Structure 1
Amino acid sequence: MTDLGIGIVGLHNHYHAYPFADYLRRGVDGLRLVGVADERADLAKEFAAQYCDGDWTTDYEQLIRRDDVDAVIVTSYTSAHADHVELAAAAGKHVLLDKPIATTMADARRIVAASGQVKVMMAYLLRYLPAYRKVLDQVRQGAVGDLVSGFYSIRFPVGAITDSPNTDTQGWYADPVRGGGGGFLDHGVHFTDFFRWFFGQDAVSVTAHIGSLTYKDLGVEDYGIATYTMDGGAIVTVESTWHAPDYFGPLSSPDHASLSGTRGEIELHYQKSPQVEVQGVDDPWKGRHYFDLVGEERYEACYRDLLVAFRDWVNGAELRDLDGVPTAEDGLKALEMIIGAYESHETGRRVSLPLGEDTK
């Protein structure tokens, strides 16, 4: 079987585009990076020289339609996702799509429709963090009983969000049109997907508060917190921010989850040591159990494993055999939880989910 040729569409979310490209350059069996497109010619040229033998263009459609491109990684700014996925679908090219799926429910539905023509996989990194997959296996084995509540929080400084590796400004990230939102949407959509994945439940309602607490002139929010009731009865909270004064808070991870079950609790801090604490009341989980991964398995391996899962799905593996592959429908549902939270904040009321089909 020949390698799948991969094109990278947009370098706007450079935090993800560059690690994907780095793994492809180092070698992922069955995949090869053949080109990149970005309207910023200097950036595209520099990227191509480093990762794909100097092959670049400013024309997205030209890259997507190339005969040697079998699939694309879309890491363009969020409001461009629907257009780029539809271009790929029209050309018969499968898509690994950065989060969030879109800035609006209407665009998310366009992408779901396109996924009927080609395979569209969401690049939700948390689903491929080795520590998180190990913990989910333990949950499924009954380590903490049934999950009943959860809290996921990130404290992130806006200064760590930049338009490209060569700038120190937020650029499109702080543009309410191109980005669709700020600190709550940007990371919060990871966490709404996390709870759907870990709990195996969908949200039925949300209450939320969103605002600009530190960076009042940013143009988008730097803080949001939302509490969801899930269809299995669990209650979970997402707190997502860009308002931290620096990247690391004292004695804590900037990114952590606390999960409570009927027979125990779990702490997940993948950016801190130890990464995981599992405490149960039943053998063999009685007492406190810790584990901590090192090297690329601590974090970077999630990019490799995403690429491998995407390759296998494109090559014909069944979703049921690829545990946790996030589809376009998963992307829509994670975004819907965020859009519902914005609506709750704006109206001051609890919002029911799913949202109506007329929601834009």
Structure 2
Amino acid sequence: MGADQLGIAIVGGGFMATVHSRAARAARARLVGVASSTPEKAATAADALGIATAYASLDALLDDDAVDVVHVTTPNALHAEQTIAALAAGKHVVCEKPLATTVADAERMVGAIGTNIATVPFVYRFHPMVREARARFRDGTAGTVLSIHGSYLQDWLLGADDDNWRVDTDQGGRSRAFADIGSHLVDLVEFVSGDRVARVATTKKTVFADRAAHHGITTEDAVAVVLETVSGAIGTLLVSQVAPGRKNRLHLEIAGSAESVAFDQEHPETLWVGRRGGSLLIPRDADQLHDDAARLCVVPAGHPQGYQDAFNAFVADTYAAIGGDTPDGLPQFADGLRAVRVTDAVIDAAESGSWIEIEKGSRS
């Protein structure tokens, strides 16, 4: 089935619903309808997104044979039940990250997939220069992984008056900053390096226990992680939603034995490649990139691409997979489960004050 024949429905009506709807339109799919927490909110979302049908409930959405794919963009605690219901109804699913608030729920979601396609939007994988960084480790150009340094910094929760449902454990889960954005960072670490995080030691901080509408907050505003990988590489990660001036600064630098690569999501048009004998800045120019990076260049060099372009590419690859293709690097529910397991280990390590093993690795 071609993307132009797929019927798409969205559950949820916030910012991410808007991003998903744009990506679905870019892939030439048909936006059929939207459901939200109430019929009134569904109607508001349908009007805002330019979608004809506002479903009175999730059940009504799932009963509609015109819907082939369900995009779940609701608060984290709702993902598991909504996704499992959609899969049981025979729908393909795109579920926002974090996939679930517990490992057990994420495992149930993976177990419910059957023959459906189920993906999770780790969309930073779809920046061409991320694919270029990955290609350099995959073909041996960068050598073996020695060390990793990364951060994901935002400032949208900087003040005590800043508030959001994500600070509430009942809606967002036991982790906030790491589950929300640190999951992207770890996914990129493993995706680019081809290595996996084996164990972590962490510390976390809640700057504001009380915000405008929430009190007794326990979810973290910031978390620092020391890690070791399966191959024996070491690294550090810093994740914060209280970093003044940083809007969405995801930065990753991986040192290989032959060269380092560094990617900055706020400046995604270049990849820094560091060498002992001289460094270079590679532009997003399809003629200079590995094939997997070049295929994601949707406009000529010198015309900037960004976050929505990456999201569009992710959704297009999801729909291609539904049509029978096997796009390389498509993040599926197994990757979402992996991120939930790493998040659990990060929070467990902070709370226990000890290293937490995720999987067996070498000790150097």
**Does 2:329 correspond to 1:329?**
no
**How far is the alpha carbon of 1:299 from its aligned partner?**
2.6
8 Å Cα contact 1:78/1:102 also seen in 2: yes
Find the partner of 1:190 among 164, 179, 184: 184
**d(CA) in 2 for partners of 1:34 and 1:6?**
5
The TM-score normalised by the length of structure 1 is: 0.85
CA–CA distance in structure 2, aligned partners of residues 203 and 270 of structure 1 = 22
Return 183-192 or 198-207, whichever deviates more: 198-207
* Cα offsets for 1:29-73 (capped at 9, x unmatched): 4x2111111115454323312434331124112112211001111
Query: Amino acid of the residue matched to residue 182 of structure 1?
Result: R
Distance 1:237 1:123 in 2: 24
Unaligned runs of 5+ in 1: 162-167, 356-360
**1:89 to 2:87 alignment:** yes
Q: Which range moves more in the overlay, 333-342 or 136-145?
A: 136-145
> 1:65 corresponds to which residue?
63
Question: Do the aligned partners of residues 273 and 188 (structure 1) sit closer, same or farther apart at CA in structure 2, a change above 3 Å counting?
Answer: closer
Kindly state the Cα deviation for residue 171 of structure 1 after the two structures are TM-superposed.
Answer: 3.1
Given residue 328 of structure 2, which amino acid in structure 1 is its aligned partner?
D
Which letter does structure 2 place at the counterpart of 1:227? V
Specify whether residues 93 and 205 from structure 1 end up closer, same or farther in structure 2 by C-alpha distance, changes over 3 A only: same
**AA partner of residue 10 (structure 1):** G
Q: Does 1:208 align with 2:202?
A: yes
The answer for the alignment partner of 2:255 in structure 1 is: 260
What secondary structure does 1:87 align onto? Answer: helix
TM-aligned CA deviation for residue 281 of structure 1: 4.7
CA 1:234/1:310 → structure 2, altered by over 3 Å: closer, same or farther? same
Contact persistence 1:265–1:280 (CA under 8 A): yes
Aligned to 2:9: 7
Matching residue of 2:118: 120
Q: CA separation of 1:42/1:296 partners in 2, compared to 1, >3 Å: closer, same or farther?
A: farther
| Shift in Å, 1:116 | 2.8
Report SS of the residue matched to 1:258: strand
For residue 275 of structure 1, report the CA deviation from its aligned partner.
Answer: 3.7
What's the CA shift for 1:103?
0.6
Partner of 1:79: 77
Q: Is the 8 A contact 2:200 2:228 kept in 1?
A: yes
Any unmatched runs of 5+ in structure 2?
A: 212-216, 285-300
Residues 1-360 of structure 1 mapped to structure 2, 5 A cutoff: 1=1, 3-12=5-14, 14=15, 16-25=16-25, 27-29=26-28, 31-159=29-157, 170-180=163-173, 181-213=175-207, 215-218=208-211, 219=217, 220-248=219-247, 254-272=249-267, 275-281=270-276, 286-291=278-283, 295=303, 297-318=305-326, 322-354=327-359
Q: Secondary structure at the match of 1:297?
A: coil
Q: Distance in 2 between matches of 1:58 and 1:177?
A: 24
For 2:359 and 2:306, locate their aligned partners in 1 and report how far apart those are by CA, in whole Å.
Answer: 35
Distance (whole Å) between structure 2 residues aligned to residue 125 and residue 277 of structure 1: 20
When residues 135 and 48 of structure 1 are mapped into structure 2, their CA distance, relative to the original with a 3 A threshold, is same
The Cα offsets for residues 201-224 of structure 1, whole Å up to 9 and x where unpaired, read as 2222111101113x3424221001
What is the alpha-carbon distance in structure 2 between the residues aligned to residue 256 and residue 347 of structure 1?
28
Give the secondary structure class of the aligned counterpart of 1:61: helix
Local SS of the residue matching 1:158: coil
The residue that corresponds to 1:165 in the other structure is none
Change (3 A) 1:61 1:236: farther
Say if 2:158 and 2:243, in contact at 8 Å, map to a contact too: no
Secondary structure at the counterpart of residue 340 of structure 1: helix
Mean CA deviation greater in 66-75 or 136-145? 136-145
- In structure 2, C-alpha distance between the alignment counterparts of 1:294 and 1:80, rounded to whole Å: 41
The one-letter code sitting in structure 1 at the alignment partner of 2:331 is: P
Task: Report the AA paired with residue 17 of structure 2.
Answer: A
Structure-2 separation of matches of 1:296 and 1:76 = 30
1:187 Cα deviation (Å)? 0.3
Contact 1:207 1:227 in 2 (8 A): yes
Give me the CA root mean square deviation.
2.4
Identity %: 26
